[in-house]
């Protein structure tokens, strides 16, 4: 696996941002393809460089479409996750409420039964598009938990008491914007003795313009 240098990543992203001024759809498409390629290669180094060059999303509002880019725990866990999610992905993205600094995850109807098995005391909500909504979060802009030199939009599940204590409230997502309407997220898991570890990446997008 070849990883581009941090400067090469920064230069390529800057080129896409310049292109977005006149061709926002094309810039988004190429950025999305880049993210997908890095995920397929589990190129954590280049994903980290790309994330480090992102900016804090401003006024992110409404539904987004999402993908799980990759997990970065260990091969014995990551391979089964990749095989499962390539065949069945219950997560569709997130919906943001910029005015109230909160949001919720967009899920498929097929996630309902596995959700009841994993979290029997938690009830998903119906979505307007016949899907499901689950795991509310609050948002705020602040320094990254594991990389304080980078400002991020924090997607925090812990303050929402209705969220399951198992796994969900230990997750802190961090989001940056790469090109307009295109976002890269980092999935952090809270460690028992404090602090966080990076366990993967996801991406979100909205229609350009």
Quick check: is 1 in a domain?
no
**pLDDT tens readout for residues 80-134:** 445 444 444 588 999 999 999 999 999 999 888 888 888 888 999 999 878 999 9
Mean pLDDT value of segment 136-144: 98
85 CB burial (10 A radius; 0-12, 13-18, 19+): middle
Q: Which domain holds residue 156?
A: 6-205
Burial-class residue 174 by CB neighbours within 10 Å (0-12, 13-18, 19+): buried
Count how many domains the chain has: 1
Across the chain, which distance is largest between two alpha carbons, in Å? 49
13 domain-assigned: yes
Provide the β-strand partners of residue 179: 182
* C-alpha–C-alpha distance, residues 20 and 14, integer Å: 10
């Amino acid at each position: 696996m070849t990883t581009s240098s941090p400067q090469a990543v920064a230069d390529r992203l800057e080129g896409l941002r310049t292109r977005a001024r006149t061709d926002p759809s094309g810039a988004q498409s190429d950025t999305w393809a880049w993210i997908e390629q890095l995920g397929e290669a589990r190129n954590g180094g280049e994903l980290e460089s790309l994330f480090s060059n992102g900016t804090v999303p401003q006024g992110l509002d409404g539904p987004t479409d999402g993908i799980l880019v990759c997990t970065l725990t260990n091969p014995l866990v990551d391979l089964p996750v990749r095989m499962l999610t390539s065949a069945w992905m219950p997560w569709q993205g997130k919906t943001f409420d910029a005015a109230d600094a909160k949001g919720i995850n967009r899920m498929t109807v097929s996630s309902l039964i596995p959700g009841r098995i994993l979290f029997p005391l938690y009830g998903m909500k119906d979505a307007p598009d016949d899907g499901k909504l689950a795991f509310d979060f609050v948002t705020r802009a602040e320094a990254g938990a594991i990389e304080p030199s980078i400002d991020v939009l924090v997607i925090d599940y812990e303050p929402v008491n209705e969220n399951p204590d198992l796994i969900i409230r230990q997750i802190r997502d961090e989001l940056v914007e790469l090109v307009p309407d295109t976002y890269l997220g980092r999935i952090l898991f809270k460690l028992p003795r404090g602090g966080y570890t990076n366990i993967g990446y996801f991406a979100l997008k909205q229609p350009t313009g």
